Amino acid sequence: MTALKNDRFLRALARQPVDVTPVWMMRQAGRYLPEYRATRQKAGDFMALCKNHDLACEVTLQPLERYPLDAAILFSDILTIPDAMGLGLYFETGEGPRFRKVVRTEADVAALPVPDPESDLDYVIRAVRTIRGALNGRVPLIGFSGSPWTLATYMVEGGGSRDFRAAKTMLYTQPQLMHALLDKLADSVIAYLNAQILAGAQAVQIFDSWGGALSAAAYQEFSLAYMRKIVHGLIREHEGRKVPVILFTKGGGLWLESMVDTGADALGLDWTIDIGVARQRVGGRVALQGNMDPSVLFSSPSQIRQEVQRILAAYGHGEGHVFNLGHGIDQHVNPENAGAFIEAVHEFSGAYHG
């Protein structure tokens, strides 16, 4: 076990003192970087890149070579579990992810296996091991999964959706069928994240990308309940250190108190909530991650610096803040602006610590 040279990220998640606020970006390994685009072209396509553990490691490390980031995140996709369940994931140019099979009936749900991560998702687990070794203690490695509700939307719709008509129709007209699907997905996510932890992930994040599309009551029953089950089923200590869990529901600012009650260590915030207000509401019970609007990165470096200062001031003095964007970095962002963002976090945040 290699000692961590930079453990700010893990210390912040544990609400322990840090010298400056740690920062990483959702989708930090991605299309905004020319070196990523070159590696993806070499791989042939996106899934070929995901399934080559050496290339997945290469693109995971690329942003760390450019920027003084405080964490690396596994390069993969949230839809690996449904793919391993036999739905046939593919990517349509201009339309995003699609599945060759959809899940609409009791027979469809019954036929879904709970994937074995070491065999059915071995390429992800190999990537985690490879990346962890290549990092050599430089920064912590984050593993991740999509939430059961988010995965279910893609599986029922057959891909992305604007209104989630098929998924919400199932939820309201056949709630027990939706529960059966979500329960199987929760078991799959537990196995998947635990395998990532055993392979070397030092923190894990659950991406509930579409929880915010639900009503308050439906969110509690069909999204949050299954994330609570996952949190309770995860390995919480490994290699002599706690393995923190981050819950991120896009559009979930209305439900922070309920999210705290899952037992997660940190909540990811999108940009629609003031981080100072969120801090007051959670009362120091969890760390907070976020929450600059990714579109700010289309502005000038001076405006980016101002927004970083505003968010740091809104959070205020003390521990428990991991700076991040409120969602993934856009593919059209100038890499220099991403650099200005990261440098500003480290430059201005020291005043809020110590």
Q: Which of 32, 67, 154, 192 is catalytic?
A: 154
Active-site annotation holds for 126: no
Residue 77 counted as an annotated binding residue: yes
Q: Which of 8, 11, 15, 40 is catalytic?
A: 40
Q: Which of 8, 11, 15, 27 is catalytic?
A: 27
Residue 281 counted as an annotated binding residue: no
Active-site annotation holds for 7: no
Active-site annotation holds for 31: yes
Active-site annotation holds for 154: yes
Residue 107 counted as an annotated binding residue: no
Residue 29 counted as an annotated binding residue: yes
Residue pair 45/354 in contact by the 8 Å Cβ criterion: no
Residue 30 counted as an annotated binding residue: yes
Residue 27 counted as an annotated binding residue: yes
Residue 172 counted as an annotated binding residue: no
Residue 238 counted as an annotated binding residue: no
Q: Which of 66, 77, 116, 285 is catalytic?
A: 77
Residue 209 counted as an annotated binding residue: yes
Active-site annotation holds for 132: no
Binding-site entries for substrate:
27-31, 77, 154, 209, 327
Binding-site entries:
27-31, 77, 154, 209, 327
**Which active-site residues does the annotation give?**
27, 31, 40, 77, 154
